[in-house]
Amino acid sequence: MEHYMDLRNAEKKHIVPISDKFGGKDSVHNKELSFTNYYMEINGKPFMGISGECHYSRVHQEQWEDTILKMKMAGINIISTYIFWIHHEEKEGFFRFDGNRNVRKFIQLCAKHGMYVIVRIGPFDHGEVRNGGIPDWMYGKPFECRCTSEGFLHYTRILYRKLAKQFEGLYFKDGSPIIGTQIDNEYMHSAAPWELTSGSSNEWISGGTEGNVYMLALKKIAQEEGIVTPFYTCTGWGGAAAPAEDMLPLWGGYAFWPWIYYDYKGEHPATPEYIYRDNHNSAVTKTYNYDPTYEPESLPYACCEMGGGMACYYQYRFKLPFESVDAMANIKLASGCNFLGYYMFCGGSNPKGERTLFLNEGQCPKISYDYQAPIGEYGQVRPSYHRLRVLHTFMTNFSEQLCPLKTILPEGSQEIDPKDVDTLRYAVRTDGKSGFLFLNNFQDHVECKDKKSEKIVLALADREVVFDNLSMKAGEEAILPFGMDVEGYQLICAKAQPLSVIRTAEKTVYFFFAPNGMEGEYVWDSKGVKMVDGKEPQADTISVKVSDDRMSSYILEGEHGAVEIVTLTRKQSLDFYNLDIEGKKCAVLCNSPFIYDGTKISLESPGEGAETNLLLYPGKEIAQIGNCVSVKTVTEGIWSGIKVDWDKQKLESVAIETKQTGSARFTIKVPELTEEDKDVLLQISYKGDIGYLFEDGELLSDNFCNGDVWEIGLKEVLKTDRENLLTILITPLKADATVDVSSTMAGRTEQMKAAVAELYSVSLKTVKRASFILL
């Protein structure tokens, strides 16, 4: 099917600086942070903010550095984190900043690795924490919470004062990472159950009534207590109080809504999240889930809660389709967002309380907050992690080209029915001469179809750009360039997505990849081109088709020197990284998760197979620290590096014996853990309602069964490394369960027609590690 967009009258975006309330200076590193009405800037240049939520108090502190580096490797440049009041002052007057609650140490590690931080300081956060994070004792005071009563503001001031002490010297102005502060969360939009009453009257705490007065009062207290950051934020959606002259409203979107099952029956609806919008256009003052109280073009359209995953609630269990995450990022980016934010990017585990053992919100697991996030509860790397890294690599490398471009939508695109999987979903960001074509072929809660032989014609002022024979696999998304300046050569259009550019003294290399189902093709203007792979151009335009099932490359030569174009397969794109090595950018292909701390590379064993290829361009000599794995030097085209052979036997999942001690109760013995292993994942496959793992009567982990394998990182949850006897309890799925109350002596018993609780298998999967330095 042919589609046509007239871009001949497209004008450049009107971009101006906004209030100096949104900005600050780092005198230590001579940096200035500022905002235009469209994007954030560092030293006057567009900065594509890519924020990922990670709750330090839900991550084992031994995993903090690994987690921060994994986020950085995925292209995250800002870590946002809720500070849950109840995690720090569960008992009135007794603040805890030890262990996993040591927020200062966490932010110092962010500083060590060059990550910016946004602190979300409450007092109300939500985050599926007990009472939304406000301690129980606050609800026994002679004043209401979440209002400007003297009492509530008094205790909020004490909280902020304690936090300011932890943040001392860690602000942007000090040359440190804290660039932003979120005040409260979803004020006048959302509340949380008052957990003291859960199971009886099921009361809810206040969502707030005082609007901007409350928000500004909290900001004033934060500043008075020393929490002074370049900008302050608030949540903008759902009619939440958003004093936009003083705080940057942040937006988001979720495609999986377990909360609706409080009173909703039936199948989950297909959501409108995967339809392109124009959310930075003052002529379009309202779109789906975006209804700002200010002119849309007066402030950047920025996000903090795009679904990086979603927790299973008791009433709604599901397996997250991991391609849903990068598809949403594609949608937001195309819709005018230059500041992406994921909730969550890293899962975790709720800490245990001192007065109340479990600090979770009632409809969620007591301990697990895995969230099916790109980085799992125990550091597992999910497919969404790799898919997002591809997108973030593009955003970071081409931010100066992308940030100023305006959104233009084809007619009627915002009215597409979410269940319509036949109509091609596309949008453009452009300045009228060049830009990017965005495509999305994912929709939640419906079965998507492959797209085949689509044609899109973009009419520009000086030519028509034709994307012909466009095909995409179901679930795929893509960003294709047109009118792109490649070192002086004109790329008219490409059916391949840009990734990165590496410039050396010898040559410049551009990296692209072919999206799933798309036959890669580049169309060049022949002006200035003398040779393409040694052949002279024979026409005004040059078409180069590339294979979609293997890596390929070709070289342009001419007036602007030599440029090599490398096209990866979609699978290879998921192994692509950029590293900064001593101030120089390097491209990496690696099929195992790894982190780089500026000194050494730490590899994790692959999820499948027993071989890891670690390839670099430009090449570097790689030396192993220790001799824990077999290493060979390899060269593939422009790439050079090493092939790592792991001990296959040590990587295979090993079944362990279970002993049944009750109808759905089992014991297992896990062997002694060793220092050489990064972790050992206990993998439990079962059918039932809820799974519980205990050690000596203490709950270590829990899981709402959704049909997926339940994984527990034993190095994080076990108290010792010695051999441990653990108990697995599965509560059953019940059919027609009732409570028999016929007794005249207050006897009550549960009756049911059927109960299902089955343990299919239990195994151990060892995660090995190996470290290398670059010479």
For 476-532, how does the pLDDT look when each residue is reduced to its tens digit (9 = 90+)?
999 999 999 999 999 999 999 999 999 999 899 999 999 999 999 999 999 999 999
Do 50 and 76 form a contact (C-beta atoms < 8 A)?
yes
DSSP-derived 3-state class of residue 454: strand
Q: What is the mean pLDDT of residues 302-329?
A: 97
- Tell me 516's DSSP state: T
Kindly give the interhelix angle for 383-397 and 323-334, rounded to the nearest 10 degrees: 20
Residue 108's Cβ-count burial label (10 Å; 0-12, 13-18, 19+) is: middle
Q: What is the pLDDT of residues 647-705, one digit of tens each?
A: 988 899 999 999 999 999 999 999 999 988 999 999 999 999 999 999 999 999 999 99
538: its two tokens? 């024979």
pLDDT of residue 637: 93
pLDDT band at 750 (very low <50, low <70, confident <90, very high): confident
Average pLDDT over residues 560-585: 97
Closest CA to 120 of 269, 4, 254, 234: 234
What is the DSSP code (8-state) at residue 349?
Answer: E
At residue 745, the pLDDT reads 83
Distance CA 600, CA 625 (A): 9
* Alpha-carbon distances of 634 from 273, 336, 553, 647, rounded to whole Å: 44, 43, 19, 19
What's the Cα-to-Cα distance from 684 to each of 666, 709, 710, rounded to whole Å? 12, 6, 5
H or E, element range at 190 = none
Mean pLDDT across the chain, nearest whole number? 96
Which of the four pLDDT bands, split at 50, 70 and 90, describes residue 572?
very high
Helix (H) or strand (E) holding 396: helix 383-397
- pLDDT recorded at residue 177: 98
Q: Which residue has the tokens 């949380």?
A: 192
pLDDT at 751 (0 to 100): 86
My answer on whether omega of the bond before 618 falls inside 30° of 0, hence cis, is yes
Q: How far apart are CA 418 and CA 206, in angstroms?
A: 34
Tokens (6 digits) for 58: 């839900």
Say yes or no to pLDDT of 410 above 80.
yes
Taking the CB of residue 491, how many other CB atoms lie within 10 A of it?
A: 22
The mean pLDDT value for 578-591 works out to 96
CA-to-CA dists, residue 432 to 174, 404, 707, angstroms: 41, 12, 49
**Distance of alpha carbon 162 from alpha carbon 767, whole angstroms:** 39
**CB distance 478 to 509 below 8 Å:** no
Q: Which pLDDT score is estimated for 425? A: 98
41, 437 Cβ separation under 8 angstroms: no
8-state DSSP, 500: E
Structure confidence at residue 724 (pLDDT): 86
Outline where 476-628 has alpha helix (H). Answer: 570-573
Q: Give the pair of three-digit tokens for residue 325.
A: 């995450």
Query: Is residue 741 over pLDDT 90?
Result: no
DSSP category for residue 560: T
DSSP 637: T
Q: Locate tokens 């549960």: which residue?
A: 750
pLDDT of residue 753: 85
Q: What is the mean pLDDT of residues 109-115?
A: 98
Determine phi and psi for 256, rounding to 5 degrees: -125, 120
SS3 215: helix
Q: Give per-residue pLDDT as tens, 26-59.
A: 999 999 999 999 999 999 999 999 999 999 999 9
- Cα 529 to Cα 545: distance, rounded to the nearest angstrom: 17
Question: Percent of the chain having pLDDT more than 70?
Answer: 100
* pLDDT greater than 80 at residue 720: no
Amino acid at the residue 244: A
pLDDT tens by residue, 373-384: 999 999 999 999
**CA 273 – CA 444 distance, rounded (Å):** 8
Task: Please tell me the distance from the alpha carbon of residue 642 to that of residue 670, in angstroms, as a whole number.
Answer: 34
Is residue 104 scored above 90 in pLDDT? Answer: yes
- DSSP codes, 243-309: -TTTSEEEEEE-S--GGGGGT--SSPPPPGGGS----S-TTS--BTTB--SS-GGGS-EEEEEEES-
| Beta partners for residue 667, in sequence order | 659, 727
